Amino acid sequence: MKHAAELRLGLAADLYYAALGREAPNYLDILYQWFGELLIAEEPSDGEDRRDARYIDLEYRIHAVRVHERLYIGQDKRVTQIAGRLIGTAKGNREKERKAAELIQKHVAGLLVNNPENVLYLQENARKQLDLLSEDSLQEFYEQLGEYTEDLVQQRAAMSREEAEGEPFPMDDEVFDQVLYNAAYQLNLTSCEGLVNAWLWLLCGSLLRNECGRVTRVLDSSWINVYREPSEDGTLQDRLNYLTHPEEYIYTYSGDDLEKRFPGIEWYCDACRAHLNDQPGFDDHLSVWKCTACGHENRIDITEIYDSRQDYEHERPSDPAKIEEALQRRKNDEK
Ligand SMILES: [Zn+2]
């Protein structure tokens, strides 16, 4: 199956339904299936009562009843328009509904940023849906996500500024890049958890668009200064190349502080995350440093160095040999 390379909820969701071997359901069902109560309040019903779905302004949610297993949309043009915009495939120039969809994006981003329970809710929910795929379908889905991610990156790189700004919900490069990088990073872990998270980054990026920037700032911030060369030119494509082919890159250290055992490395407490380099008496020649803030004993060792916070969280330490090499090269330069 060939998909259009645009970051839209409807197109992303199609990948799942194709793997599942089913037709995509209606807009409300798609929104409910992946975002549940964050977007839609299901009203009690006897299953036959066809009440039009309606959008409640200050609640930022659509209310709907279920008829024969499906959420019932009905005749309310406003709901159709708003849901269509969130799905990203509806055409039309109704500014009022576009505005409402934008408020929903802000609202949902706020729910994710302010309450970690909501993130767990989305993960749990996505995991359940992915569990419905057979092993083969899951593999197919995984491959499709990889392709989709790559296509999105290329498509975006080929887009002119006018095109990017002319999208219904324009995304800043920084936000787009971070969402796609996070998705690729999680896919690259080749784990079930990674797949769920990659999928959620794509879903959240397509639903929340630029508002997803707030989410990336909370769920992904690098707090270790790195001295590797993470990319040649800083483009997303180059960062992804580094992610998938780290063996082709080398670490470099260009600083002057060669007195230290690990120049350029910032150390953080494993227990409370205090910045250890700033603590009085800290010396990286010590093999263990007791954090003055919480008392935790941190090992100061080359095997405890990570390129980024994600690498730390996923227990992927940097390559000690490469770090040694980088330091040796720098020391040789000095001579
Ligand atoms: Zn501490």
Region 119-125 average pLDDT: 93
Q: How far is the CA of 298 from the centre of ligand 1 (A)?
A: 8
Q: What is the DSSP letter of 38?
A: G
Region 288-297 average pLDDT: 94
Q: How far is the CA of 305 from the centre of ligand 1 (A)?
A: 17
Phi/psi of residue 61, nearest 5 degrees: -135, 155
8-38, pLDDT tens digit by residue? 999 999 999 999 999 999 999 999 999 999 9
Region 110-121 average pLDDT: 91
Q: How far is the CA of 132 from the centre of ligand 1 (A)?
A: 42
Q: How far is the CA of 277 from the centre of ligand 1 (A)?
A: 12
Region 129-146 average pLDDT: 97
Record the pTM.
Answer: 0.77
State the Cα–Cα distance between residues 12 and 266, nearest whole angstrom: 39
- Which of the two residues, 195 and 313, has the higher pLDDT score? 195
- pLDDT exceeds 50 at position 1: no
User: Can you give the residue ranges of every domain in the chain?
Assistant: 9-219, 236-334
Lowest mean pLDDT among 97-101, 148-152, 154-158, 310-314: 310-314
- pLDDT exceeds 50 at position 2: no
Q: How far is the CA of 189 from the centre of ligand 1 (A)?
A: 29
In 3D space, the residue among 58, 64, 59, 54 whose CA is nearest the CA of residue 33 turns out to be: 64
Cα angle: 197, vertex 202, 208; to 5 degrees: 115
pLDDT at 223: 33
56-74, pLDDT tens digit by residue? 999 999 999 999 889 999 9
Radius of gyration of the chain from its Cα atoms, rounded to whole angstroms: 24
The H or E element containing residue 25 is: none
Q: How far is the CA of 217 from the centre of ligand 1 (A)?
A: 23
pLDDT at 232: 59
State the Cα–Cα distance between residues 247 and 166, nearest whole angstrom: 39
Q: Can you list the pairs that 253-258 forms with residues at least 24 positions away whose Cβ atoms lie under 8 Å?
A: 253/227, 253/326, 253/327, 253/329, 253/330, 254/227, 254/330, 255/227, 255/330, 258/327, 258/330, 258/331, 258/334
Q: How far is the CA of 261 from the centre of ligand 1 (A)?
A: 21
Percent of the chain scored above 90 by pLDDT?
A: 59
- pLDDT exceeds 70 at position 86: yes
Q: pLDDT category, 228, cuts 50, 70, 90?
A: very low
Highest mean pLDDT among 143-147, 220-224, 261-265, 282-286: 143-147
Instruction: List residues bridging with 277 in a β-sheet.
Output: none
Region 237-250 average pLDDT: 76
**Secondary structure of residue 277 in the 3-state scheme:** helix
Q: How far is the CA of 266 from the centre of ligand 1 (A)?
A: 14
> Helices marked H in the chain — which ranges?
9-20, 27-35, 77-87, 95-114, 116-130, 135-158, 161-165, 173-188, 192-208, 212-219, 236-244, 309-313, 320-334
pLDDT at 252: 72
Lowest mean pLDDT among 75-79, 89-93, 110-114, 149-153: 89-93
State the Cα–Cα distance between residues 118 and 41, nearest whole angstrom: 15
From its phi and psi, is residue 54 left (phi > 0), alpha (psi between -120 and 50) or beta?
A: beta
Q: How far is the CA of 313 from the centre of ligand 1 (A)?
A: 17
- pLDDT exceeds 70 at position 117: yes
pLDDT at 218: 77
Q: pLDDT category, 332, cuts 50, 70, 90?
A: confident
197-219, pLDDT tens digit by residue? 999 999 999 999 999 999 987 77
- pLDDT exceeds 60 at position 220: no
- pLDDT exceeds 60 at position 125: yes
Phi/psi of residue 295, nearest 5 degrees: 90, -5
State the Cα–Cα distance between residues 56 and 76, nearest whole angstrom: 12
Q: How far is the CA of 295 from the centre of ligand 1 (A)?
A: 6
State the Cα–Cα distance between residues 335 and 333, nearest whole angstrom: 6
- pLDDT exceeds 80 at position 231: no
Cβ(152)–Cβ(7) under 8 Å?
A: yes
Q: How far is the CA of 300 from the centre of ligand 1 (A)?
A: 13
pLDDT at 230: 54
Query: Please, what is the average pLDDT of the chain?
Result: 87
